[in-house]
Amino acid sequence: MKIAIIGPGAMGCLYAYFLSKTKEEVWLLDKNAERAAKINAAGIKVEGVSGSHHIRVKATSEAKEIGQADLLLVCVKSYDTKDAIIRTKPLIGENTRIITLQNGIGNVEVISEIAGVERVIAGVTNEGVTLLDIGIIRHAGRGETVLGRIDGKIPVEMRAIRELFNKAGLETRISRDIKGLLWSKLIINAGINALTAITRLHNGKLVEFSGTRRILRDAVTEAVRVAKRKKIKLIYDDPLAKAEAVCEATSANVSSMLQDVLKHKRTEIDFINGVVVRQGQEMGIAVPVNMLLLDLVKTIEQTYGDVPQSATLS
């Protein structure tokens, strides 16, 4: 099987490491030629809960160099999804399947519009990983990966992908209600990510202070209200308790949104809290806390370079 991973960020490199253990043909595709060349030459280094490892992986910025792939894993930021799929059209053949392992809501729809809905598999992963440098990652925490189609069907090829992932050491299962999982993860991220980006706190610190804990709870409560109005079946009986438990379980983790802010990069706020705000407004549901978090993170993005930025984390 030929596997192409689109985006050599933290999650892309982590999956490249694990899938390379299966002896399948694994490629990393990067829009940045210089970065791709560096990974191609130096490989990927992993540290953390998986131990210390160094692997070689084929990386390129030219999709045609890879040719048609059997499986694409989309690991780019949500705002780059459309451009990434357009660039990777040479990889998509008649039997290619595409998995999105991205944050937020809307990626499945964007990919389906370009590549065809029958090819697309949504993925939710609880693996925790931090990008330290180009091709260098810290695996911060283990967690399962869940795959599913929006229509709830489970074709034979999805079962084969599940077996491949499990063989690679990635605990993976299939769900008939991936939409519920996507929204469940969105709700947790809505409570955690923006707050860490604003306060510069590690995940675990959010539940240690009454102020941040209260804001987290309010953001989650608003998001749950929106999901329920949409008749989304969430996987957690108590999303508030789950959000706080995630903070504690990933206490030392630097959220992806905080990593983006520290590097002065665009965040995925529009695809997390922004989704709650837009859909809440459409249904007439008040979401003031999510709107405040959205506005504050957008302001941080717009003032990179104008405001002193500290890289010190708490």
Q: Which H or E element spans position 157?
A: helix 156-168
Rounded to whole angstroms, the Cα distance separating 36 from 31 reads 8
Output DSSP code: residue 122. Answer: E
Please tell me which residue in 179, 185, 205, 242 is annotated as part of the active site: 185
Quote the longest CA-to-CA distance of the chain.
54
Residue 232: how many other CB atoms lie within 10 Å:
18
- Backbone φ and ψ for 150, nearest 5 degrees, come out as -60, -30
* CB 237, CB 224: distance < 8 Å: no
- Among left, alpha and beta (phi > 0; psi -120 to 50; other), residue 18 is alpha
Tokens of 66: 């890879």
Active site residue 185: yes
Give the position of tokens 């859909």.
279
DSSP notation for 61-108: S-HHHH-SEEEEEE-S-GGGHHHHHHHTGGGEEEEEEEEE--SSSSHH
Rounded to whole angstroms, the Cα distance separating 30 from 110 reads 19
CA 212 to chain CA mean position, Å: 23
Catalytic residues: 185
